[in-house]
Structure 1
Amino acid sequence: ARNASEEEVAELAEILRRQEEKMRRGEPAIEEDSQFHYALAVAAGNSVLHRVLDVLMDLLRESRARSLQVPGRLERSYAGHRRILRAIKRRDPAAAEKAVKQHLSEIEAILMRQI
């Protein structure tokens, strides 16, 4: 939340705008979901996180595609992203951390159900 530049915050907001627009039209917004994760890693200024995310996204590509097609899943992911972005815009690291942890917990629960 502290490290993100105004441009990076604007990029995160733009990705969410595109995701919301696609969801409203009933289109899959899986690419925007991935883009948000990558942009968040860049905004965090954490190069290790960015590299780990590259590996995870590649390994979990099919699983993510299936999980994001579960009814309501993409909307829940979008809501989690909105909470994260709100905390970043407020420059509130504690709220950002809480929002990220909540988002990751939701993802973990879904992945565990798929096993």
Structure 2
Amino acid sequence: MTAPTDQPDATTDLVSLLRPVVRESSVSEVAKRLLDHLTEGNLRPGTRLPAERQLAEALGVARSSVRGALSALDVLGIIEIKPGSGSYVRANTSEFLPRAINWGLMLGQRRTQDLVEVRAFMERMSARLAAERADDADVSRLSGHLERMREAGGDVTAFIEADIAFHLETANIARNTVLNDILHSIRALLQAWMERAGDVEGTITGTLHEHGTILEAIRRRDPEAADRAMTEHMRLASVRLQSSLDTEPAEAEEHPGAGAPAAT
């Protein structure tokens, strides 16, 4: 692998080339825009990408959208995120582009549904282990994420961020590094489909209730109840995903090029 190099000129050029994405908070659109520049040869291996703030300003999106896009590209092996240093284009990135397009950023309905199915099993295990292993500090952190979901109100971006944080916190509490890594990867890939969560009627109210039930089971240290609560949440989340997928053909005709629908 080519050692990362600090290339301020390349960073400046990329920022100047980027144009605002049409839909705010569009993780998939941000990732596709960066992929476009990779395929055009604008970003060489070892190039350090602009900071999240710069990318967000250049694209006209929230930093959370940039963060989600970079996370997906990292999972797919397109870039490497170095804590405290930045995000760098990996060497031999061209080898990964077909896989990125086929598997990650342009997920079709069938593969998205397969991912949701796998995630359901992983999340159930996560909730069960969290109920067995949580201490009071863990429960307090998890409760904080649920409170931020409530405080988000109609701010879908803030709600989704808090929703993701709740699930990742549950995985952290489970204290299983393999399970944690798998769930992080799945969430990063699914996030590209999560941007229209608020478009499905009852999503926010239903999701809040379901998360509250999961939290209460973990608070009581009841693995069976946590498993049941997460199973029901995953079932209803799958229903909401299917509902958003069912609206895609009609909306695609009315709004060509619109972003992919989402799950919560």
> What TM-score range do you get, normalising by the shorter chain?
0.7 to 0.9
| Cα shift readout 1:29-74 (whole Å, capped 9, x = no counterpart) | 1100000010011112222221111111111112122234423212
Which has the higher relative contact order, 1 or 2, with Cα contacts under 8 A spaced 6 or more apart? 1
Show structure 1 runs of 5+ residues with no match. none
Choose from 162, 169, 172 the match for 1:32: 162
| Structure 1 counterpart of 2:171 | 41
Partner of 2:138: 8
Which residue of structure 2 lines up, in the alignment, with residue 98 of structure 1?
Answer: 228
Q: Structure 1 residue 110 and structure 2 residue 240: aligned?
A: yes
Matched, 1:81 2:211: yes
Q: 1:57 aligns with which of 187, 192, 206?
A: 187
* TM-superposed deviation, 1:27: 2.1
Identity %: 34
Q: Which has the larger radius of gyration?
A: 2
Q: Deviations over 1:52-102 (max 9, x none)?
A: 111111111121222344232122111111000000111111111100111
Indicate conservation of the 8 Å contact 2:197/2:203, yes or no: yes
Measure how far apart 1:106 and its partner are: 1.1
Give the partner amino acid of 1:44.
A
Q: CA deviation at 1:112?
A: 3.2
- On the 8 A contact 1:12/1:85 being kept in 2, the answer is yes
C-alpha change, 1:47 and 1:68, in structure 2 (3 Å) is farther
Q: Which amino acid aligns with 1:47?
A: T
1:107 and 1:45 map into 2 onto residues whose CA distance is 24
With over 3 angstroms needed to count, the CA separation of the structure-2 counterparts of 1:75 and 1:101, relative to structure 1, is same
| Structure 2 alignment gaps of length 5 or more | 1-130, 247-264
What is the alpha-carbon distance in structure 1 between the residues aligned to residue 180 and residue 199 of structure 2? 25
Conservation of the 8 A alpha-carbon contact between 1:77 and 1:103: yes
- Native 8 Å contact 2:200 2:240 kept in 1: no
Aligned length: 113
**Does the 8 Å contact 1:4/1:45 carry over to 2?**
no
The 4+ residue runs of structure 1 with deviation greater than 6 A are none
TM-score (norm 1): 0.88
Root-mean-square deviation (Å)? 1.5
